[in-house]
A and B are shown apart, each in its own frame.
Chain A
Amino acid sequence: MATGKALRIQPQTSARAVAISALLLFCLLALPALLSTYWVKVLTAVAIFAVVALGLNLLFGRVGLVSLGQIALLAVGSWIAARLFFLTNMPFPVVLLLTGVLTAAIGTLVGLPALRLSGLHLALITLMFAGVIAIVAPTTNFPNGGSGVLGHTESSSGGLVVRRPGIAESDAAYFRYTVIVAAIMFLLALAHVASKTGRAWAAIRQSEPAALAAGVNTTFYKLYAFTLASFMPGVAGGLYAGYVGRLYSYQFSGARTIDSVTLLATVLMGGIFSLWGAVVAALLQNWFAFFETNPDFLLVLFGVGVLQVLVTAPEGLVTQLPRDLRNLGRLLSRAVRRVGRSPGSAT
């Protein structure tokens, strides 16, 4: 019976799983050996930002809630992780998990207005949160050591270094570690999307009254979405702390309010209806590392990019690029066939 098919793994799904596993293995085994240290570091940053973008991708793409505070939550995560690393000897994965949980608690508090607000009003609230972090980070001289929660050291060596896990002290090993954590976050997101929770989010995105009428506890699921979307930048913040080593307020340009806005732009451009869109968003977010571009010009470029995506491909580059490449391939093959058939070609 047809419904039985719903529970069977489709061949297409198996092929996709094999391709993703192969890509993951390539990233873990081949990439660090093929690339210079610079590019390994750039791709580590891409993996970290992919986790941050994933949180927003889930929140906006699956539930329809807009947050402009994701980069601020990355800063909060880095802060919490740094303090946990300085104050305790807990293993790296435990610190990551704890950082994610604590950041999620803060993000959930910020998300409380989401129960009553949506759209522009919710975006403004989260933008204000990003603004607060952008002020707090430099005024407290971003804690890089010392005692207490706000400890800061002015030593010439530039403060304490956030330790990396014992198995991932080199840049190449830390890249692998980051990719594995990012893959776990993507699996976590996938598990949610394919579950009862994901279907509840889909119902809320479609229409909140209809979701309520379908028995969905919209209050719980909206808040849970905020919790998960904050957990992810929290974990990414822990990875970021280990990535940069020493933490200063100026390093946290990411805590600047504008970066929270550009993240939304890159997530939109990447594609909010596919989790892969978060990877495209992370690549765009690290555009500067790939192409030396004036940051102001980059803002203009992203503005045009968002306009292009919204008008011509609301599903984002992650869908548009393969489709356009397929169309281009078809056009080229048609052109080649036409040239082959033309009278001149017989001579």
Chain B
Amino acid sequence: MIEVERLTVRFGGVTPLDAVTLTFPEGTCGLIGPNGAGKTTFLNVLSGLVRPVAGSVRAFGEDLLRITDFRRARWGLRRTFQQEQAIQRLSIFDNVGLVQEHCGGSRGSRRRDVERALEFIGLEQLADERVGMLSARHRRLVEVARAVVGEPRVVLLDEPGAGLPDEETEHLGRVIRRIPEAFGALVVLVDHDMSLVSGCCGMTAVLDFGKVIASGPTNEVLRDEHVLRAYLGTEEQV
């Protein structure tokens, strides 16, 4: 479980996160909102790339903000980014292996851990291929493998299906849905694709202008009038 209380981030005069309070209980949780709502900033705070001016984040009872940025991955916090970060010159095996070895995984279990992650995404037969030679779909799956290798406790996925056609996003959704059961990790999914979010996430929180405007079961949240207004805008009375 992740409990966030009054989390505030300021960049000069801009407040991308304004006293955000929400809870991600278990399984796969969604975090949605229009562009500029503060979703990526939220993930950046969790991964230690941005320091908040106020608030707290507790994950499975631990104060996440007290853990040094790179040590959070060793604690079990993993993430993907909007832009692909798998290293094109390295093989799939090495791309996944580098996360395992730098997250405190032992040398003895390296091969087993990497193979498990690759089998999970279904690319074990391509382990020796360079990432630069892969299709966009496979590269996106490698990103997921990097996020689940070893013993993840929290997996943050930032628009994992960006740029993929619908049928490939569906396959990605099936992979994401299996993460909590296969690895016992809590997944936070940020995406603009509502079919992916509704297909994967039991609960969803919505950010708009740095504030939480809705939170709860995904189906209810997606029908919430505030959420619809945030996405579709309001008619201006003249």
Interface contact B47-A1, CB-CB below 8 Å: no
Binds B, one of A133-141, A178-186, A209-217, A287-295: A209-217
Instruction: Compute how far the CA of A114 lies from the CA of B81 in the bound complex, rounded to whole angstroms.
Output: 24
A206 at the interface (CB under 8 A from B): yes
B49 at the interface (CB under 8 A from A): yes
A192 at the interface (CB under 8 A from B): no
A309 at the interface (CB under 8 A from B): no
Against A, the Cβ 8 Å flags (1 = close, 0 = not) of B81-95 are 100010101110110
B101 at the interface (CB under 8 A from A): yes
Q: Which residues on B sit within 8 Å (CB–CB) of A199?
A: 90, 94, 97-98, 101-102
Give the most central of A199, A207, A214: most B CB within 10 Å. A214
Interface contact A215-B87, CB-CB below 8 Å: no
Known A-B contacts A212-B49, A213-B79, A214-B146; the reply to A3 vs B93 at CB < 8 A is yes
Instruction: Compute how far the CA of A200 lies from the CA of B95 in the bound complex, rounded to whole angstroms.
Output: 10
- Closest B residue to A6 by beta carbon equals B93
Give the most central of A6, A205, A206, A213: most B CB within 10 Å. A213
Interface contact B102-A215, CB-CB below 8 Å: yes
Q: Which residues on B sit within 8 Å (CB–CB) of A200?
A: 98, 102
- Closest B residue to A210 by beta carbon equals B85
Instruction: Compute how far the CA of A107 lies from the CA of B11 in the bound complex, rounded to whole angstroms.
Output: 35
B73 at the interface (CB under 8 A from A): yes
Q: Which residues on B sit within 8 Å (CB–CB) of A206?
A: 85, 87
A15 at the interface (CB under 8 A from B): no
A323 at the interface (CB under 8 A from B): no
Instruction: Compute how far the CA of A6 lies from the CA of B125 in the bound complex, rounded to whole angstroms.
Output: 11
Q: Which residues on A sit within 8 Å (CB–CB) of B79?
A: 213
Q: Which residues on B sit within 8 Å (CB–CB) of A202?
A: 87, 89-90, 98
Q: Which residues on B sit within 8 Å (CB–CB) of A7?
A: 111
Q: Which residues on B sit within 8 Å (CB–CB) of A1?
A: 115, 124
B188 at the interface (CB under 8 A from A): no
A196 at the interface (CB under 8 A from B): yes
> Interface residues of B: mostly helix, strand, loop or mixed?
helix
B206 at the interface (CB under 8 A from A): no
Interface contact B87-A2, CB-CB below 8 Å: no
B2 at the interface (CB under 8 A from A): no
Interface contact A5-B49, CB-CB below 8 Å: no
Q: Which residues on A sit within 8 Å (CB–CB) of B99?
A: 214-215
A218 at the interface (CB under 8 A from B): yes
A203 at the interface (CB under 8 A from B): yes
Q: Which residues on A sit within 8 Å (CB–CB) of B70?
A: 212, 215-218
> Interface residues of A: mostly helix, strand, loop or mixed?
helix
Give, as a whole number of angstroms, the nearest-CB distance from B47 to chain A.
5
Q: Which residues on B sit within 8 Å (CB–CB) of A203?
A: 87, 98, 102
A205-243 residues with Cβ-Cβ distance < 8 A to B are 205-207, 209-210, 212-218
Known A-B contacts A199-B90, A199-B98, A199-B101; the reply to A213 vs B125 at CB < 8 A is no
A252 at the interface (CB under 8 A from B): no
Q: Which residues on A sit within 8 Å (CB–CB) of B146?
A: 214
Instruction: Compute how far the CA of A196 lies from the CA of B102 in the bound complex, rounded to whole angstroms.
Output: 8
Q: Which residues on B sit within 8 Å (CB–CB) of A214?
A: 73, 98-99, 102-103, 146
- Closest A residue to B143 by beta carbon equals A210
Give the most central of A3, A7, A200: most B CB within 10 Å. A3
Interface contact A213-B47, CB-CB below 8 Å: yes
Instruction: Compute how far the CA of A199 lies from the CA of B79 in the bound complex, rounded to whole angstroms.
Output: 18
Interface contact A196-B101, CB-CB below 8 Å: yes
A276 at the interface (CB under 8 A from B): no
Known A-B contacts A207-B85, A212-B70, A215-B74; the reply to A2 vs B98 at CB < 8 A is no
A273 at the interface (CB under 8 A from B): yes
- Closest B residue to A10 by beta carbon equals B128
B207-223 residues with Cβ-Cβ distance < 8 A to A are none
Q: Which residues on B sit within 8 Å (CB–CB) of A217?
A: 70, 102
Interface contact B93-A212, CB-CB below 8 Å: no
Give, as a whole number of angstroms, the nearest-CB distance from B70 to chain A.
5
Select one of A2, A207, A213, A218 contacting B124, CB under 8 A: A2
Q: Which residues on B sit within 8 Å (CB–CB) of A196?
A: 98, 101-102
B37 at the interface (CB under 8 A from A): no
Instruction: Compute how far the CA of A216 lies from the CA of B99 in the bound complex, rounded to whole angstroms.
Output: 8
Q: Which residues on A sit within 8 Å (CB–CB) of B102?
A: 196, 199-200, 203, 214-217
Interface contact B127-A3, CB-CB below 8 Å: yes
Interface contact A5-B48, CB-CB below 8 Å: no
Instruction: Compute how far the CA of A230 lies from the CA of B127 in the bound complex, rounded to whole angstroms.
Output: 35
Give, as a whole number of angstroms, the nearest-CB distance from B197 to chain A.
22
Select one of A2, A209, A210, A212 contacting B127, CB under 8 A: A2
10 A-B pairs in the complex with CB atoms less than 8 angstroms apart: A2-B124, A3-B124, A199-B94, A200-B102, A206-B85, A207-B81, A207-B85, A214-B99, A214-B146, A215-B73
Interface of B toward A, CB cutoff 8 Å: 44, 47-49, 69-71, 73-74, 78-79, 81, 85, 87, 89-91, 93-94, 97-99, 101-104, 111, 114-115, 118, 124-128, 146
Interface of A toward B, CB cutoff 8 Å: 1-3, 5-7, 196, 199-200, 202-203, 205-207, 209-210, 212-218, 273
Q: A199-B102, A207-B85, A216-B102 are in contact. List 15 more A-B contacts (CB 8 A).
A: A2-B127, A3-B93, A3-B124, A5-B128, A6-B91, A6-B128, A7-B111, A199-B94, A203-B98, A212-B49, A212-B70, A215-B73, A215-B102, A215-B103, A273-B89
User: Which 8 pairs, one residue from A and one from B, show the smallest C-beta to C-beta distance?
Assistant: A215-B73, A215-B102, A210-B85, A199-B98, A215-B103, A3-B127, A6-B93, A214-B99
